[in-house]
Amino acid sequence: MQLDAKIPTGPIAEKWEKARFDLKLVNPANKRKFEILIVGTGLAGASAAATLGELGYNVRCFCFQDSARRAHSIAAQGGINAAKNYQNDGDSVFRLFYDTVKGGDYRAREANVHRLAEVSVNIIDQATAQGVPFAREYGGLLANRSFGGAQVSRTFYARGQTGQQLLLGAYQALMRQVKAGRVTLHARTEMLDLVVHEGRARGIVTRDLATGDIRSWSGDAVVLATGGYGNVYYLSTNAKGSNVTAAWRAHRRGAYFANPCYTQIHPTCIPVSGDYQSKLTLMSESLRNDGRIWVPTAPGDSRRPTDIPESERDYYLERRYPAFGNLVPRDVASRAAKKEADDGRGVGPGGLGVYLDFANAIERLGQDAIAARYGNLFEMYERITGDDPYRVPMRIFPAVHYTMGGLWVDYNLMTTVPGLYSIGESNFSDHGANRLGASALMQGLADGYFVLPNTIGDYLAQHMGEERLETSDSAFTAIEDDVRGRTRKLLETNGKRTVDDFHRELGLLMWNECGMERSAEGLRRALAKIPEMREEFHQNVRVLGGDQTVNQSLEKAGRVADFFELAELMCIDALNRDESCGGHFRTEHQTPEGEAQRDDENFRYVAAWECTGDFAKPVLNKEPLEFENVKLTQRSYK
């Protein structure tokens, strides 16, 4: 299929305005005739549901959590970027656009990123008007900080809980629409399949996680705001429930999956402490503003960090990157830490850690100043590890954090299935091969508050007056039967291994072969192994209990089954992309300094994979990326 990204013509700064004029509108009296299904209530889903409700559409909104307020956007700590230039430090929409395309290592679509930078300023206005308690200066105006190596201060924040506050703002806007009767919320309800009929998305099939009821919902459009797939690695900073099922099932029904191998490893997480480890906890990378990262010079040095003299420490980021030092981008910092651990200089259990030391900063600024900046993070660290970071250096290590890949969408955020949209982390569009700090919140809210509400009408207007498909239609009942069959199969297998046992095994394989570094050899190993593991999962998984009740093992089993399929596609994509870019680092392709070496001539495209039913043989569709406004360069942080 020929991919049409539907990028508006004209100069980059005028594309979004042109699009808004060219897109068809649905008149206010007709909006109430449409029903839109939104899956997920994170920043993207909640903001979209609230805004579409305000516009007058009927919205049904689904989340697997017990409340819409708990979606994993809530855990974002650091902040949200916006090109307000309140600090008068040279920021602009164009600079945010430029930084984002460059930070994504030139693998994002220019037009989408420019639009993101344009609406970033509206997000801050909207959130402030909702009562989001952003940090302020004494004069009462909004405070900003520099984040993730940006050379301007454009990040807005609410202590270390920016995601929580923005999500509560969107959740509250959503609840206002629930009160107004425009939105119906379905909590504890998980989407298990997409219904496509005559080439268009017509509804979804869900399972009620409290009662086990499987049922269908018909809509005029379906919006997936279901987040990322980092939990394919088992250990990640994602919430335990975060999963790929909705997006994967949509992929199996015809939506192309783009750049699945683009995953982001966050450099500052608390290391694994034992084999019972259930998840990893991120420490805001703002810590790198004052903390210094080091390892002992000698491999295997097991002395306590405070006993290691200055002369026997290697501040390796400061040494290798004198200009950016500890503030190099996430992918660079992560790989550098892995290299130290691979060379035997890692610290802590299993040598999987490096020190992040605040001794200098405390000496320079005083403990009170450090406590004011990072107090809550230090407390969190101490609760988890039992160590006091005011006295001993923190131990940190990279962990899977965010997935840039996702469902392929056009400029209007529609997938390759007409009527199916994908917003926020679940789509692929804005971050290229690497996401910059404080950009995830921006994208989720940009899509939900400002982009989708303007673009979805164009599709709906073309289907004005058409009947919605009844859920009694065979298109729905066939898929309901399919879902019931899958559920029954999982319950009847009654094998010898638990779901988590399989998930850990898959996660470890993915971390080793398709994690921070990938090689053709390793990826081929993984591709040989995954189908075997998947086969064993379906033969030997043990899920107890019934389907007409709360059954958390059953929920997990369905999600892990889909992770097994996604994992194969990730490795295929990583093997196909025979270059390094951003978070995708192929060991065969690096500069003499060990940095990612892109191959723009052959890989300057989006890889959009089409499901053929045979997971080993998906079809590759390419969307070439044109850069008319940003000059392609080799990133350098020296």
From 360, 367, 472, 549, residue interacting with another protein (rule: CB under 8 A): 549
From 176, 215, 339, 529, residue interacting with another protein (rule: CB under 8 A): 176
Q: Per CB under 8 A, does 137 bind another protein? A: yes
Distances (CA, A) of 147 to 132, 285, 520: 20, 8, 34
From 301, 500, 536, 600, residue interacting with another protein (rule: CB under 8 A): 500
Cβ-proximal residues to 267 (8 Å cutoff; 6+ apart), any chain = 285, 288, 330, 333, 334, 337, 396, 398
3-class DSSP string for 91-126: CCHHHHHHHHHHHCCCCCCHHHHHHHHHHHHHHHHH
Known catalytic residue at 330: yes
Rounded CA-CA distance 327/251 in Å is: 37
Rounded CA-CA distance 614/337 in Å is: 38
Min CB(165)–another protein separation in Å: 6
Q: Which is nearer to another protein, 496 or 524 (CB)?
A: 496
* Site stretch for another protein (CB under 8 A), options 62-70, 247-255, 463-471, 624-632: 62-70
Q: Which is nearer to another protein, 383 or 617 (CB)?
A: 383
Tell which residue, 412, 436, 425, 447, has the closest CA to residue 582: 436
Q: Which residues pair with 197 in a beta bridge?
A: 200
* Site stretch for another protein (CB under 8 A), options 64-72, 93-101, 517-525, 611-619: 64-72
- 352-383: buried (b, 16+ CB within 10 Å) or exposed (e) per residue? bbbbbbbbebbeeeeeeebeebbeebbebbee
Instruction: Report yes or no: 87 and 143 within 8 Å, Cβ to Cβ.
Output: no
Q: Per CB under 8 A, does 277 bind another protein? A: yes
Tell which residue, 92, 88, 78, 94, has the closest CA to residue 149: 78
From 34, 38, 51, 406, residue interacting with another protein (rule: CB under 8 A): 51
CB atoms within 10 A of CB 75: 17
From 50, 113, 195, 530, residue interacting with another protein (rule: CB under 8 A): 50
From 134, 324, 378, 502, residue interacting with another protein (rule: CB under 8 A): 134
Residues 291-320, interacting with another protein (CB under 8 A): none
Q: Site map for another protein, 407-446, x if CB under 8 A?
A: ----------------------------------------
Tell which residue, 426, 455, 452, has the closest CA to residue 50: 452
Q: Per CB under 8 A, does 502 bind another protein? A: no
Residues 215-274, interacting with another protein (CB under 8 A): 237, 239-241, 273-274
Residues 528-547, interacting with another protein (CB under 8 A): 542, 544-545
Q: Which is nearer to another protein, 163 or 291 (CB)?
A: 163
Residues 96-125, interacting with another protein (CB under 8 A): 122, 124-125
Please pick, among 320, 330, 373, 577, the residue that the annotation labels catalytic: 330
* Site stretch for another protein (CB under 8 A), options 19-27, 160-168, 296-304, 357-365: 160-168
From 72, 107, 266, 435, residue interacting with another protein (rule: CB under 8 A): 72
Q: Which is nearer to another protein, 97 or 449 (CB)?
A: 449
Min CB(117)–another protein separation in Å: 16
Q: Per CB under 8 A, does 178 bind another protein? A: yes
From 552, 587, 612, 634, residue interacting with another protein (rule: CB under 8 A): 552
Min CB(308)–another protein separation in Å: 23
Residues 325-354, interacting with another protein (CB under 8 A): none
Rounded CA-CA distance 433/104 in Å is: 5
What the block records as the tokens of 192 is 């298990």
Residues 362-401, interacting with another protein (CB under 8 A): 379-380, 383-386
From 26, 158, 356, 436, residue interacting with another protein (rule: CB under 8 A): 158
Q: Which is nearer to another protein, 70 or 320 (CB)?
A: 70
* Site stretch for another protein (CB under 8 A), options 175-183, 248-256, 311-319, 557-565: 175-183
80-81/35-39 β-pairing:
unpaired
From 49, 59, 68, 224, residue interacting with another protein (rule: CB under 8 A): 68
Encoded amino acid at 20, one letter: R
Min CB(368)–another protein separation in Å: 17
Cβ-proximal residues to 511 (8 Å cutoff; 6+ apart), any chain = 233, 235, 400
Residues 79-98, interacting with another protein (CB under 8 A): 84, 86
Rounded CA-CA distance 308/302 in Å is: 9
Can you give the length of the chain in residues? 638
From 173, 194, 293, 332, residue interacting with another protein (rule: CB under 8 A): 173
Spatial strand order of the sheet with 58-62 comes to 183-186, 58-62, 35-39, 221-224, 420-422
What letter would DSSP give residue 596? B
From 88, 90, 179, 631, residue interacting with another protein (rule: CB under 8 A): 179
Q: Site map for another protein, 183-202, x if CB under 8 A?
A: --x-x---------------
Instruction: Report yes or no: 585 and 261 within 8 Å, Cβ to Cβ.
Output: no
Rounded CA-CA distance 356/397 in Å is: 10
Min CB(86)–another protein separation in Å: 6
- Number of residues this chain uses to bind another protein (CB under 8 A): 82
Instruction: Report yes or no: 589 and 580 within 8 Å, Cβ to Cβ.
Output: yes
Q: Per CB under 8 A, does 181 bind another protein? A: no
Give, in degrees to the nearest 5, the angle at Cα 163 between 160 and 164.
85
The residues annotated with a catalytic role in the active site are 330
